[in-house]
Structure 1
Amino acid sequence: MSSLQAALAASEKLIDTEVGVSNWILVDQKMIDDFAKTTHDVQWIHVDPARAKAETPFGGSIAHGFLTLSLASRFAYDCFGMLPGQTMGINYGMNKLRFLKPVVAGSRLRGRFTLKRVSAKSETQLLRENRLTIEIEGEEKPALIADWLGMAVFED
């Protein structure tokens, strides 16, 4: 049995189960400001805490939705290692993504992964779809939910 076939068989047993929960990470104003500078998205609800506190219902500035999403890779590093025989992992995209709750500066986030589907795309590529829920500490509603596709590439 090849490494890919073994990974597929093992993964199929995990469908609809939680496969990882990351560590918490602080999203502070500096992270938000750095992201705004990098992406040239300097809308005041992100970079002007005093105005955001005075003029929005959020109580302060909020993180960009795409900043929250960009932390998905960090959360995945906490939860997943390389599979036996895997040479690399590739971000393959999203099937569904919804931003459900703004992330106020000073919040802590973590990622929770549930395996939804797995299939062999070729003799060397295993496609996995995980439901990613990015939770906000102390909040019932998550920041976002996404169906994230990742490709595990194996040796021939």
Structure 2
Amino acid sequence: MSKVVIKSFDELEKLIGSDLGISDYHEFTQEQINLFADATLDHQWIHTDVEKAKNESPFGNTIAHGYLTVSILPHLWNQIVDVQNLKMQVNYGIEKLKFNAPVLVNSKVRLHAKVNNAVNLRGVTRANIGIKLEIEGSRKPAYEGEIVFLYHFNA
């Protein structure tokens, strides 16, 4: 899959309403879930206690933290788009994010992205990107929403 290359506000603006593509799949392992639990101090048993989750969880297994699935966004985004000619990029926000389905351990997810809007704010580009994290084999996505980047393109 070839990445969409964006080098300026004008190029991004032309993509408004366009589907940018889909990333490769990423598998969430128990090791990655445990490392995230350690990093965030969130050791809730539905994420880290495999035996208890198999016996007591309504999901029948451990699940990835919702914020772990969000934190993988930059990795998946960079598989879809190559933004060039930048002085700086800033993660500005997340809007309308709704978690729809749990991501079970060893599940594979991929990002589907489209350009919802792009605005030139006195030389800084605000890009609103529609996102959907699809779970392999599931009708429901893990989540849907919009991420907002600020791109400082070189003149």
Scaled by the length of structure 1, what TM-score is found?
Answer: 0.90
Give 1:13 deviation, angstroms.
2.5
Alignment check: 8 A CA contact 1:89 1:151 kept? yes
Percent identity between matched residues is 33
* 1:92-132 deviation per Cα after TM superposition (whole angstroms, max 9, x unaligned): 11122111100000101111101100000122x11100011
Distance 1:34 1:94 in 2: 24
Structure 2, unmatched stretches of 5+, are 1-6
**Number of paired residues?**
149
For 1:25, the aligned partner's letter is H
Q: Does structure 2 conserve the Cα–Cα contact (< 8 Å) formed by 1:114 and 1:130? A: yes
Q: CA-atom RMSD, angstroms?
A: 1.3
- Aligned residue for 1:41, secondary structure, equals coil
CA distance in 1, matches of 2:90, 2:80: 16
Q: Does structure 2 conserve the Cα–Cα contact (< 8 Å) formed by 1:82 and 1:88? A: no
Give the alignment of 1:1-156 within 5 angstroms: 7-83=8-84, 85-123=85-123, 125-156=124-155
Runs of 4+ in 1 over 6 A off after TM superposition: none
Assess if the C-alpha contact under 8 Å between 1:132 and 1:146 holds in 2: yes
- Contact between 1:22 and 1:79, CA under 8 Å: does it hold in 2? yes
Task: State the alpha-carbon separation in 1 of the partners of residues 48 and 11 from structure 2.
Answer: 45
Unaligned runs of 5+ in 1: 1-5
Query: Residues 132 and 27 (structure 1 numbering): CA distance in 2 closer, same or farther, change over 3 Å?
Result: same
